[in-house]
Amino acid sequence: MNTFPKGFLWGGASADFQVEGGFDEGGRGLLSHDYETDGSLEEPRHHTMKMPDGTLIYPRSSFFYADEVPPEAEPVFLEDAYYPSHKAVDFYHHYKEDIALMAGMGFNVYRFSICWSRIYPNGEEEQPNKEGLSFYRNVINELKKYGMEPLITICHDEMPMNLALKYDGWSSRYLIDCYLKYCKTLFEHFGQDCKYWLTFNEINAVKGFGPCGTRKSDGHVRYLAAHHMFVASAKAVILGHEMMPDAKFGTMYAMSELYPASCKSEDVFHALLERRENWYFIDIMARGYYPSYAKQIWKHHGFDHLEISDEDKDILKRGQLDFVSFSYYRSNITQAGDPWFNVGGSINPYLETTPWGWPIDPLGLRHVMNTIYDRIQKPLFIVENGLGVVDQADENGYVEDDYRIEYLKDHFKAMRDAINEDGVDCIGYTMWAPVDLVSLSTGEMKKRYGFIYVDMNDKGEGSLKRTPKKSYYWMKEVISSNGSSID
Residue 15 within binding range of ligand BGP, rule CB under 6 A: yes
Q: Are 240 and 183 in contact (CB under 8 A)?
A: yes
Alpha helix stretches (DSSP H) within 212-309: 219-243, 265-282, 294-300
Of the candidates 117, 171, 201, 335, which one interacts with ligand BGP according to CB under 6 A?
Answer: 201
Print the binding letters for residues 384-423 with ligand BGP: x by CB under 6 A, - otherwise. x---x-----------------------------------
Report how far apart, in Å, the C-alpha atoms of 156 and of each of 46, 346, 376 are.
Answer: 20, 28, 23
Shortest spacing between CB 295 and ligand BGP, in angstroms? 28
CB of 13 vs ligand BGP, minimal distance in Å: 8
Q: How far apart are CA 327 and CA 333, in angstroms?
A: 18
Q: How many CA atoms lie within 13 A of 82 on its CB side?
A: 18
Among 68, 142, 202, 391, binds ligand BGP (CB under 6 A): 202
Q: Which is nearer to ligand BGP, 44 or 260 (CB)?
A: 44
Stretch that binds ligand BGP, among 181-189, 286-294, 432-440, 479-487 (CB under 6 A): 432-440
Residue with smaller CB distance to ligand BGP, 327 or 430: 327
Q: Applying CB under 6 A, does 207 fall inside the site for ligand BGP?
A: no
Strand partners, 258: 332
Distance CA 475, CA 454 (A): 18
Based on CB atoms, which residue is closest to ligand BGP, 59 or 128? 59
Closer residue to ligand BGP (CB): 326 or 472: 326
Rounded to the nearest 5 degrees, what angle is found at the Cα of 313, between the Cα atoms of 310 and 319?
Answer: 140
What minimum distance in Å lies between the beta carbon of 52 and ligand BGP?
A: 32
Catalytic residue among 384, 395, 400, 461: 384
Which of these ranges, 21-29, 141-149, 286-294, 436-444, lies near ligand BGP under the rule CB under 6 A? 436-444
Greatest distance between any 2 Cα atoms in the chain: 67
| 432 is an interface residue for ligand BGP by CB under 6 A | yes
CA distances (Å), 276 to each of 272, 354, 367, 455, 471, in order?
A: 6, 27, 16, 42, 36
Q: Which residue lies nearer to ligand BGP by CB, 185 or 199?
A: 199
Q: What is the pairing mode between strands 452-454 and 466-468?
A: antiparallel
Comparing CB distances to ligand BGP, the nearer of 267 and 401 is 401
Q: Which segment (78-86, 274-282, 438-446, 457-465) binds ligand BGP by CB under 6 A? A: 438-446
Determine, following the binding rule CB under 6 A, whether residue 327 of this chain makes contact with ligand BGP.
Answer: yes
Nearer to ligand BGP, 377 or 441 (CB): 441
Around Cβ 358, how many Cβ atoms within 10 Å?
Answer: 19
Q: Round the CA-based radius of gyration of the chain to a whole number and report it.
A: 21
User: Residue 90's CB: how many other CB atoms inside 10 A?
Assistant: 16
User: Among 48, 320, 439, 471, which residue interacts with ligand BGP (rule: CB under 6 A)?
Assistant: 439
CA distances from 378 to 223, 252, 320, 367 (A): 25, 14, 11, 16
Q: What are phi and psi of 50, to 5 degrees?
A: -130, 140
Find the distance separating the first CA and the last CA of the chain, reported in whole Å. Answer: 11
Task: List beta partners, residue 429.
Answer: 10, 382
Q: How many residues interact with ligand BGP (rule CB under 6 A)?
A: 14
What's the CA gap between 38 and 404, in Å, rounded? 24
Compute the least distance from the CB of residue 41 to ligand BGP, in Å: 18
Q: Could you tell me which stretch among 142-150, 261-269, 273-281, 435-443 binds ligand BGP (CB under 6 A)?
A: 435-443
Least separation in angstroms between CB 444 and ligand BGP: 9
Pick the closest to residue 38 from 4, 83, 78, 69 (CA basis): 83
* Residue 384 annotated among the catalytic residues of the structure: yes
Beta strands in 1-69 (DSSP E): 9-13, 49-50, 56-57
Binding part of the chain for ligand BGP, among 58-66, 72-80, 300-308, 440-448 by CB under 6 A, reads 440-448
Of 125 and 277, the one with the shorter C-beta distance to ligand BGP is 277
Task: Determine if 254 is a binding residue for ligand BGP (CB under 6 A).
Answer: yes
Catalytic residues: 384
Binding site for ligand BGP (CB under 6 A): 15, 18, 201-202, 254, 327, 384, 388, 432, 439-442, 447
